[in-house]
Amino acid sequence: MAQVTLKGSPVEVTGQLPQIGQQAPAFSLVAGDLSDVSLASLAGKRKVLNIFPSVDTPTCATSVRAFNASASKLSNTVVLCISTDLPFAQARFCGAEGLENVVNLSTMRGADFLANYGVAIASGPLVGVAARAVVVLDENDKVLHSELVGEIADEPNYDAAMAVLK
């Protein structure tokens, strides 16, 4: 079990974040049209998994905007913004912001993703949602970059995540 903080207060996170060099665990999450999207369905593409609690918080919204801007410059790469938000909330946010370079995915039918990716918040006021993390995968789903952000209210290290894709 890992520990991060939320505005300085300790928060326990279950599971283990995939580490550099490991094969990413399979997953199935829910897209904006309520279809299931699996890791296998994205085969052959590089993937940035931007994992966070909710698009309705300032830091999460900032990370989606930042990765949206970065994604437009990358070839053969998809940015997956993964949260426990329902697809309707994700679509509302991206529509209002004009964000078109990311794919929103919800854990609404894929709660096992939280534990399998080591981001399941197990204590504190956010129990049941994802901790903030970034996992970058190559075309074969091998982990190139992995970061569990130590303070949930902080942004991830965008430069480190993007550097492995250049």
Which residue, among 138, 140, 144, 149, has the nearest Cα to 161 in the 3D structure?
144
Which among 127, 144, 126, 123 is positioned nearest to 135, based on CA atoms? 144
Distance CA 99, CA 80 (A): 12
Which strands make up the sheet holding 77-83, listed edge to edge? 36-38, 28-30, 102-106, 77-83, 46-51, 133-137, 143-148
| Catalytic positions | 60
Pairing of β 46-51 and β 133-137 = antiparallel
